[in-house]
Amino acid sequence: MELIKLLGYIFFSILSIIILLFISILLKVFKIKRKKIIFGTTPILTNKYWSDALNNIGIESETLMRRYYSSINKKNDYNKYFDEIIPEIFKKKYLDEIAYLFFVWLYIIYNAKIFIMPFHGIVFKKYFWKIELILFKLNGIKVIVLPYGSDAYMYSKINDKSLQHVLLESYPDAARNEKIIENKVFFWSKYTDCTFNAYMGIDGMPRWDIPLFSFIQIDTNLWNKKKLYSTYNGLDGKVKILHSPNHRSFKGTEYLLQAITDLKNEGLQLELVLLEKVQNSKVRDLMQDVDLLAEQFIATGYALSGIEGMASGLPVLANLDNKEYTELFRRYSFLNECPILSTTPETLKDNLRLLVTNPKLRKELGELGRKYAEKYHSYKMAQHMFTHIFRKLDGEDIDLMNLYHPLKSEYVKNNYIQTPLVNNRYIHKEEV
């Protein structure tokens, strides 16, 4: 029975591909003009922000998703879903994948001028996935490939073995599927029109076109900067620490819990606000009620939560210690402006104590974080980044490799954020 299903899937897939190729030729003959920038198909919230940012400057853009994560997102976060494109008659369990293959791709080749996607592609999973490149090329659709995590991490190539360990603990299936992930990463790295991989690129990826430590942007207007900063120092009042892990081991949550316990035993008054699988809107509200954000301590870098914390004017603790992952982005991009207090499991207790007992430092780093988020993780940044990429794809002589070079980029040099740094640790000027 399983063999019959597989043969049926292969037959109808090949038939769908042939029809799509024929339709592509017809669209080319009749010179159908496509206008849309389409982001898909994994419901990472950044896709919504990118699309909104482009629409705000008159570039027609939309998100096309397979599904959404109901625990943290709302359905109306995204514009279109696969199910909305497929006619009802084809919504049978045994026809789902074939219907996705045909109708989703029919929608794309009729509408997309540029498609922005992860390394795993759009519809095809195990079979025929290279056909997607042919459909893109035949229809003149430019492709930008941006990773989000499990689509691109090749575990055996990861330099930081602590990172590999927590990924194996949190997302073990990616290790079992590494060969197909590797094949897709190297295939799309060769043929995509543009890609930038952030700090993930250090772990075995062959190409990036823009060196960006993080290419995540958000609507900073939704994240209000704190108006009132607590003056409590852990002795005269309680200091609130926010932590929102998706997977505790990946974020290093156990080290945070131990550090807080140790500091409480020292006599400091602390309150941990632990958020897991909470709607993004609730996280936004709670950030106004806490004093600092403890983000991630194993992986080098900061993620969406860290950006949201900075946009809210919170001081943020995250791991920026690993030179192998950060040096490139300090030399050729804007990471030197980042006001995050670099923190590993080994320095977590000391850095927490530093921020808890120093409300003036919390306020200074929080205000610098807001400036950093507005400059590099806002709609303004997304618009600057994508419009330059689009101009490059249209044939202009745009130097994407140096788009954010600290010595060559006017965008970086304008309003340069001076952040105090001593021994690789951000610290208050008066304490130097």
| Residue 278, pLDDT score | 82
Asked whether residue 198 is assigned to any structural domain, the reply reads no
Helix (H) or strand (E) holding 165: helix 161-170
Q: Does 133 lie in the same domain as 243? A: no
Strand partners, 293: 242, 316
| Residue 71, pLDDT score | 73
Among candidate residues 258, 256, 243, 343, the one with its CA nearest the CA of residue 301? 343
Give the whole-angstrom CA distance, residue 376 versus residue 218: 10
Q: Which residue range forms the structural domain that includes residue 340? A: 239-379+416-431
| Residue 73, pLDDT score | 80
Give the whole-angstrom CA distance, residue 35 versus residue 371: 34
| Residue 95, pLDDT score | 58
| Unique residue bearing structure tokens 């909305």 | 84
**Rounded to the nearest 5°, which phi and psi values hold at 357?**
-90, 0
The one-digit pLDDT tens for each residue of the chain (432 residues) are 577 777 777 888 888 899 999 999 999 888 888 999 999 999 999 999 999 999 999 999 999 998 888 777 888 999 999 989 988 877 766 556 677 789 999 999 999 999 999 999 998 777 789 999 999 999 999 999 999 999 999 999 999 999 999 999 999 999 999 999 999 999 999 999 999 999 999 999 999 999 999 999 999 999 999 989 999 999 999 999 999 998 899 999 999 999 999 999 999 999 999 998 888 788 888 999 999 999 999 999 999 999 999 999 999 999 999 999 999 999 999 999 999 999 999 999 999 999 999 999 999 999 999 999 999 999 999 999 999 999 999 999 999 999 999 999 999 999 899 876 544 554 544 443
Q: Does 422 lie in the same domain as 281? A: yes
Give the whole-angstrom CA distance, residue 312 versus residue 290: 10
Give the domain-ending residue among 75, 105, 137.
Answer: 137
Strand partners, 425: 422
Starting from the edge strand earliest in sequence, which strands make up the sheet with 341-342, in order?
Answer: 270-274, 239-243, 292-296, 316-318, 341-342
Q: Does 254 lie in the same domain as 129? A: no
- Whole-model pTM: value is 0.93
Asked whether residue 29 is assigned to any structural domain, the reply reads yes
Give the CATH number of the domain where residue 425 resides.
3.40.50.2000
Give the whole-angstrom CA distance, residue 144 versus residue 175: 25
Q: Does 11 lie in the same domain as 127? A: yes
Asked whether residue 289 is assigned to any structural domain, the reply reads yes
| Residue 188, pLDDT score | 97
Label residues 224-254 b or e (16+ Cβ within 10 Å = b): ebbeebbebbbeeeebbbbbbbbebebbbbe
Number of domains in the chain: 2
Helix (H) or strand (E) holding 186: helix 178-191
Q: Does 266 lie in the same domain as 132? A: no
Asked whether residue 268 is assigned to any structural domain, the reply reads yes
| Residue 243, pLDDT score | 97
Asked whether residue 91 is assigned to any structural domain, the reply reads yes
| Residue 148, pLDDT score | 92
Q: Give long-range contacts, CB 8 A cutoff, 24+ apart: 47-53.
A: 47/78, 47/116, 48/77, 48/78, 49/217, 49/218, 49/219, 49/379, 49/382, 50/116, 50/217, 50/382, 50/386, 51/79, 52/219, 52/379, 53/217, 53/219, 53/379, 53/382, 53/383, 53/386
Q: Are strands 61-65 and 80-81 parallel, antiparallel or unpaired?
A: parallel
Label residues 57-66 b or e (16+ Cβ within 10 Å = b): eebebbbbbe
Q: Does 423 lie in the same domain as 293? A: yes
Give the whole-angstrom CA distance, residue 146 versus residue 252: 25
Q: Does 261 lie in the same domain as 130? A: no
Q: Does 425 lie in the same domain as 281? A: yes
Asked whether residue 233 is assigned to any structural domain, the reply reads no
Q: Does 109 lie in the same domain as 254? A: no
DSSP alpha helix (H) spans, 93-153: 96-99, 105-111, 131-138
Asked whether residue 374 is assigned to any structural domain, the reply reads yes
Among candidate residues 27, 30, 29, the one with its CA nearest the CA of residue 109? 27
Asked whether residue 152 is assigned to any structural domain, the reply reads no
Q: Is the peptide bond before 195 cis (omega within 30 degrees of 0)?
A: no
| Residue 430, pLDDT score | 43
Residue 399: Cβ within 10 Å count = 12
| Residue 291, pLDDT score | 98
